[in-house]
Amino acid sequence: MKLFVGLGNPGPKYAGNRHNIGFMALERIAEDHGFGPWKSRFQGVVSEGLLGREKVLLLCPATFMNLSGQSVGEAMRFYKLTPADVTVFHDELDLAPGKCRVKTGGGHAGHNGLRSIHQHIGADYDRVRLGIGHPGHKDAVSGYVLRDFAKAEQGWLDDLLRGIADGAAQLAAGDSGKFMNAVALRVNPPRAATGRPGAAAGANPAQAAKTDAAPAPEDNRSPLQKLADKFR
């Protein structure tokens, strides 16, 4: 079994925050791959399913970011997993918006969620670093990550989340290269050839991918956020 962990904060106040992009990534994986319903377990909410041949548990801690390691450690002990079985999806200030990188081990770079996980399971787990950009000054970081993504950012955000779901099976199988290729095809799709049958003249495939996203509902909490709120 593999454990995919999304980092974020529970509750409607934080649902659309940049800091919650890890939650968003897991929700898209669950939706696109037909995972089971979200249930309250391990001080968080979980959903089980298959990615390729791998059984995968998706976990979104409901402990708030700086205590995420408690939830991760509890799930690992229950299933007798090692850090090598764990992949954490989190926001990354040091990557440009929409960029994605896979990394194994290393420091937490001041990220409170990673700091907590380090304390509970060590540093030898995989991370999927999801770029949100930097506000430009360290004093502005807290307010920046706890603000919602702007409307102008919804296009690249949707492309990134779709790409993560597209490549999730390859990631679970340990092929980070194919995972990154799947993300790149969504974020930087190849240009359509001029005159290609069925393609509108001057059509931009990247823009087309952005325009088919459903409008956000008035209550912007995800199903897992709603479940987490229920058990808080």
Residue positions annotated with a catalytic role: 19
The amino acid sitting at 38 is W
Q: Containing H/E element for 186? A: helix 176-187
The upper half-sphere exposure of residue 194, i.e. CA atoms within 13 Å in the direction of its Cβ, equals 0
Helix (H, G, I), strand (E, B) or coil at 187: helix
At 88, which helix (H) or strand (E)?
strand 86-92
Place of tokens 């787990």: 125
Burial 177-203 (b: 16+ CB within 10 A, else e): eebbebbeebbeeeebeeeeeeeeeee
> Residue 213: how many CB atoms within 10 A of its CB?
14
Of 181, 182, 91, nearest to 128 by C-alpha is: 91
Q: How far is CA 205 from CA 123, 159, 182, 210, in A?
A: 39, 11, 15, 9
First to last CA, the chain: 27
